[in-house]
Structure 1
């Protein structure tokens, strides 16, 4: 990676989420290829090269990893429960060895870019960022435990290992509390967790680019931790180098929806939507299509409806974060300060909509 004069690091324009998508489609094919390889004599030169290659600081020892059942599977890859060196972990599996679809040079380029990204994530250390434990690329000896014993993984499989968080996704927690809502102090504390984690990432020149409650995990004490760096990248010194509709509908900033250049302020916008979601325990724009949301957010300044029962101090944070102009949005460290200044002793939590206490019912459209 090249460094510019102002200290920002430019990462290769690689979208790891697209790499994750290869797993489900090609895993069975890769297993078949591996079985065929085992019928052929091993290459002494390959073995010698693997033995002499110097291990990277972020590389795990495959012999210490036990991969168990699937936690989640989908378009972004397959995540397993596991144990590494006695610690509960989550393991994401990646497979780039597409038969007939990628050249050796292409695979080498993908691995090199992935190595650069992993080297960045490995150095992150913050209580509100999911701990990255390590990764391994193309290691032999990976096995998945099943009821019928262990299944060997092909040597072209790569895996990423992070700490296991038993509380699950913040999105799921909010859905469970959709009717009764959360206490105001709980909302502010969760918002502080998320804002502190994002402030740390931005201080490391990292833009997450897909901030949403689904990508935030809870530990056993209900502490929020940022997860899923599938589309995150090191922030470019030139905003025009970061373009494209990257993110999730409903959380994407206007400049991202428009395909315009953007910077870390796109995360600030997404945080504002998450803050509304944590307070209301509801979904933003549940009845609108992608084209409708894009048009309304960009051209009509559509934002989620803020209930009248929401304290002005919290509503102000939401409005400032989702301002249409990135330059007018606060930095995340300022958001932390604003949240820390909120007095939660007097309450102010969301009033459930089935209770007749004067709370404004949601309308379909409303600006900030």
Structure 2
């Protein structure tokens, strides 16, 4: 019989593996606790943060506007639509209707402009975004926008109520009073133009007055916003009558259109109409006349002028507004320094004439 084999000796590697657990246990007993921190060798060393110029900062995009039905005004929370009571209709047109409304909780009176809802979803969202920007305008000579509602397919804009109504059809033959009205309108226009807002539809019906004789510009920017979706309104004879020549005929000014200068033309034409009591064009080219004749009169006839019975300052003031070349028209800020305006402020009338 073969002798039994002797047990094999563990190899060197096996011996090391058997010794390692014992060594590891010994090291763990001798190692300091984990909560003990090693002291820094050089405490005076630090890692400085890079200096970053604020001008190089890249701002994060603002969040998208909320799709809530009501937008708050900058002066506080917008009144709820359900709290507005319609009192009577104060205006209407192709694009919508304006109502006098009362806020039931406070009794405050507003004007509610209802824009008929025949816009597709993309256009509606654009209108809401742009009106949300326009409502931030804050100037005493611009009608205040207090909020907006998207309800029952209609866009409803809550506006400051002007109890005197619009200046449409009003005659103002007193130059001192006309200068004061012009000054207030120009202050509102200068503000809008500084905010890079072009009105595009300055006319007597968009100039409102209240019992305190404050004149304010209404519908600023709204005509521009709705121009692509309310073509019948913008092509009406009443609106064309106050358009500048280069806006009607784009070839007049080498295809260039300056919206700020166009607002000045419309302003000057409105002021001259107040003085004359009628639109300063031939009757056949008036608001009730032929629109083609009216456009030809605006584009190809000499610009309207104030009559010789008016003062020299007023005639020159109108001339500075109604220049065929847009570059020759004075800006709103420059017109505020015109003698027709400054003279009236230096020598105000001793008594306040009746409104109209």
Q: TM-score, normalised by structure 2?
A: 0.65
Once the 2 structures are TM-superposed, how far is the Cα of residue 320 of structure 1 from its aligned partner? Answer: 1.4
Alignment correspondent of 2:131: 118
2:163 to 162, 166, 170: 166
Query: SS of the residue aligned with 1:127?
Result: coil
Q: How is 1:67-216 mapped onto 2 (pairs within 5 angstroms)? A: 67-84=86-103, 85-96=106-117, 107-138=120-151, 155-174=152-171, 181-216=172-207
Alignment correspondent of 2:36: none
Aligned mates of 1:74, 1:211 — CA distance in 2: 16
Alignment correspondent of 1:232: 224
Once the 2 structures are TM-superposed, how far is the Cα of residue 188 of structure 1 from its aligned partner? Answer: 0.5
Once the 2 structures are TM-superposed, how far is the Cα of residue 182 of structure 1 from its aligned partner? Answer: 2.7
Alignment correspondent of 2:72: 57
Alignment correspondent of 2:16: none
Alignment correspondent of 1:342: 343
Aligned mates of 1:61, 1:137 — CA distance in 2: 12
Aligned mates of 2:67, 2:307 — CA distance in 1: 62
Query: SS of the residue aligned with 1:306?
Result: coil
**Mean alpha-carbon deviation: is it higher for 70-79 or for 244-253?**
244-253
Aligned mates of 1:233, 1:336 — CA distance in 2: 28
Once the 2 structures are TM-superposed, how far is the Cα of residue 60 of structure 1 from its aligned partner? Answer: 4.1
Contact kept? 1:206, 1:233, Cα under 8 Å = no
Once the 2 structures are TM-superposed, how far is the Cα of residue 158 of structure 1 from its aligned partner? Answer: 2.8
Query: SS of the residue aligned with 1:232?
Result: helix
Alignment correspondent of 1:220: 211
Pair 1:76–1:54, CA change in 2 (3 A): closer
Pair 1:94–1:340, CA change in 2 (3 A): closer
Alignment correspondent of 1:320: 320
Once the 2 structures are TM-superposed, how far is the Cα of residue 333 of structure 1 from its aligned partner? Answer: 0.6
Contact kept? 1:245, 1:258, Cα under 8 Å = no
Contact kept? 1:134, 1:162, Cα under 8 Å = yes
1:273 to 269, 275, 281: 269
2:279 to 276, 279, 283: 283
Once the 2 structures are TM-superposed, how far is the Cα of residue 280 of structure 1 from its aligned partner? Answer: 2.2
Pair 1:274–1:80, CA change in 2 (3 A): same
Contact kept? 2:70, 2:149, Cα under 8 Å = no
Gaps of 5+ in 2: 1-65, 227-233, 350-356
Aligned mates of 2:71, 2:268 — CA distance in 1: 38
1:298 and 2:325 correspond: no
Contact kept? 1:245, 1:256, Cα under 8 Å = no
Contact kept? 2:162, 2:209, Cα under 8 Å = yes
Once the 2 structures are TM-superposed, how far is the Cα of residue 157 of structure 1 from its aligned partner? Answer: 3.2
Once the 2 structures are TM-superposed, how far is the Cα of residue 233 of structure 1 from its aligned partner? Answer: 5.0
Once the 2 structures are TM-superposed, how far is the Cα of residue 121 of structure 1 from its aligned partner? Answer: 1.8
Q: TM-score, normalised by structure 1?
A: 0.63
Count of aligned pairs? 257
Structure with the greater alpha carbon radius of gyration: 2
